[in-house]
Amino acid sequence: MAVLVEKFKEVLFAVLPITVIVLILNYSIIPIETSLIFRFIIGALLIILGLSIFLFGVDLGIAPIGHLMGTALSKTKNIWILALLGLILGFFISIAEPDLHIIAGQIELVTSGLVSKLSIIIIVSLGIAIMLALGLIRIIKDIPLYKILIILYTVIFILALFTSPEFLAISFDASGATTGALTVPFILALAIGVSSLKKDSQASEKDSFGLVALVSTGPIISVMIMSILFKTDKISGVIEYNNDYSTSIIGPFIHKLPTIAMEVFFALLPLLVIFLLFNIFCKVDKKSLRKILKGLFYTFMGLVLFLIGVNAGFMDLGRIIGNNVASLDNKSLIIIIGFVLGLVTILAEPAVHVLTHQIEDITSGYVKRPIVISALSIGVGFAIALSMLRIIIPEIQLWHFLLPGYIIAICMTFFVPPLFVGIAFDSGGVASGPMTVTFILTFAQGVAESIKAADVLIDGFGMIALVALTPLITLQIVGYIFKIKSVKGGIESDG
């Protein structure tokens, strides 16, 4: 039973902090309705249960599929076949991502239907597919990650000059949204599978990371190009938020079940289909096949429970907390609460657990979980605090943070060990998962609603961009510290 207890403990420590913080807020500065608090607690319990099952599912189902395909892909000697397979994989996985459908719907709405939802989904998926193929080629061809990142981000900067501030925010958000809870574990495992066959173990280790990083630049570039081509520089529509929430405790959970179950099912479907097709060509033995199918089932169950917990238990609460915090007189309190919420929310993010376990496995425990998680959590804390600052002071534009942030992050790649560059840029995509997107985003929208100077739409967008940016810097700092500290001491004073 040790396995179950261990996993349960890990998840408990991930979800408890946010629960405790919210309860403390409730009893101190922001009293919240009892029915909401009950829903929050039920939500937290569902999240604990769902996250545990989901993580088992990833270990058993998603990760092995990624590994198998990765090793199979790297055996294809022809680079064009590899690129083609990468394109197909990337396209079908991202097209099914539920988060992408949500953000595409929002874009259609704010551009008053000028850009249709379907075309956005296809364009973003194409962006992801091209980047996935590029990333796979990079691993095989041994091109250093930082060089590609510099090129890609230069392209992004040039495109950004022609993009309106609103679309700048949307494009970065699209990137965060599309690297969701299912895509990230799969892409991570794929990268590890492809690079594991390398003879030089050091190269294999550092190439195991960085694929998520490349993939998440795809949507940024494609949405920017789209906005320039369609000349959709003005945002005209308004997103209607449904502000009244149900007072029933159990109702919202049951209400959300069918939609979420459908979404998760369709997100998993391409993986299942691709795996079954793959199984025709490269037979997997019966026992492993059964295990992987079981794993996919766990993933489905876990993710459904998790998402129901987040959507029904946390979403309304996020907005209420935001509303109430913003109406306090002390504005600096908004920033502090934002920081703390960012700090604890990221702990419960599913992909964070997957990434940190992969890091431990690949580095044989050299880079330990607690270090990566604390760096991530401090990073996200700062991201939320900065977002709050942006809402309170309308003069601050998103690019005031993004431009210096990315310049710092890119410059750091020159002297941080390549392993950590990969880990840092990957965790940027990992940090912006379902937990942050639902809970923190509604919190920010809640704050923006209560502050007159703020524009809910503009300030709401762009926060995910910051969440994806700050971990790049904090994790690279950790990498630099590791580099200094790993130098051997005492050799000169040989006795």
Partner 1 sequence: MDKSPQLPEFELLFVILNYGLGSKVVKLAKQHGVTGGTIFLGRGTIKNRFLELLDLTEIRKEIVITVAVKDTIYKALEVINKELKLNKKDHGIAFTTSVSNLLGARCYKDSYSKESRGVENTMYKLICVIVDRGKATSVIETASKAGSSGGTIINARGSGIHETSKLFTMDIEPEKELVLLLSEEHLSDLIVSAVREQVEIDKPGNGIIFVLNVNSAYGLYPQNK
CA separation, residue 136 to residues 70, 74, 79, 167, 461 (Å): 9, 9, 9, 29, 31
CA separation, residue 469 to residues 59, 69, 413, 426, 428 (Å): 28, 30, 14, 11, 6
Q: Which amino acid is at 413?
A: T
What is the residue-wise DSSP string for 10-29? HHHHHHHHHHHHHHHHHHTT
* The only residue of 97, 108, 173, 205 in contact with partner 1, by rule CB under 8 A: 205
* The only residue of 92, 157, 266, 482 in contact with partner 1, by rule CB under 8 A: 482
* The only residue of 244, 370, 395, 452 in contact with partner 1, by rule CB under 8 A: 370
294 binds partner 1 (CB under 8 A): yes
Start-end of H helices in 96-243: 98-110, 117-141, 145-161, 165-178, 183-195, 201-207, 211-229
Q: What are phi and psi of 472, to 5 degrees?
A: -55, -40
Q: How far is residue 82's CA from residue 99's CA, in Å, rounded to a whole number?
A: 27
* The only residue of 112, 200, 282, 332 in contact with partner 1, by rule CB under 8 A: 200
197 binds partner 1 (CB under 8 A): no
67 binds partner 1 (CB under 8 A): no
* The only residue of 366, 393, 400, 453 in contact with partner 1, by rule CB under 8 A: 366
Which residue's CB is nearer to partner 1, number 266 or number 482?
Answer: 482
User: Which of the stretches 407-415, 439-447, 449-457, 481-489 binds partner 1 when contact is defined by CB under 8 A?
Assistant: 481-489
Q: Which of 474, 437, 443, 438 is nearest to 456 (CA)?
A: 443
Q: Which residue has the tokens 């991930």?
A: 14
Q: How far is the CB of 276 from partner 1 (least distance, A)?
A: 19
Start-end of H helices in 346-397: 350-362, 369-392
Q: How far is the CB of 294 from partner 1 (least distance, A)?
A: 5
Q: How far is the CB of 485 from partner 1 (least distance, A)?
A: 4
Which residue's CB is nearer to partner 1, number 318 or number 418?
Answer: 418
5 binds partner 1 (CB under 8 A): no
490 binds partner 1 (CB under 8 A): yes
Q: How far is the CB of 422 from partner 1 (least distance, A)?
A: 15
Which residue's CB is nearer to partner 1, number 277 or number 487?
Answer: 487
Q: How far is the CB of 291 from partner 1 (least distance, A)?
A: 5
Q: Is the dihedral of CA 447, 450, 452, 458 positive or negative?
A: positive
Q: How far is the CB of 3 from partner 1 (least distance, A)?
A: 5
Which residue's CB is nearer to partner 1, number 258 or number 490?
Answer: 490
Helix (H, G, I), strand (E, B) or coil at 446: helix
Q: How far is the CB of 183 from partner 1 (least distance, A)?
A: 24
Q: How far is the CB of 490 from partner 1 (least distance, A)?
A: 5
Q: What are phi and psi of 317, to 5 degrees?
A: -60, -40
Which residue's CB is nearer to partner 1, number 28 or number 364?
Answer: 364
Decide if 56 contacts 3 (C-beta within 8 A). Answer: no
CA separation, residue 235 to residues 160, 161, 220, 453 (Å): 16, 17, 18, 18
User: Which of the stretches 16-24, 184-192, 201-209, 377-385 binds partner 1 when contact is defined by CB under 8 A?
Assistant: 201-209
Other Cβ atoms within 10 Å of 256 Cβ, number: 19
CA-based R_g, the chain, Å: 22
* The only residue of 77, 199, 286, 452 in contact with partner 1, by rule CB under 8 A: 199
Q: How far is the CB of 200 from partner 1 (least distance, A)?
A: 6
Binding site for partner 1 (CB under 8 A): 1-4, 6, 56, 59-60, 199-202, 205, 290-291, 294-295, 361, 363-366, 368, 370-371, 481-482, 485-491, 494-495
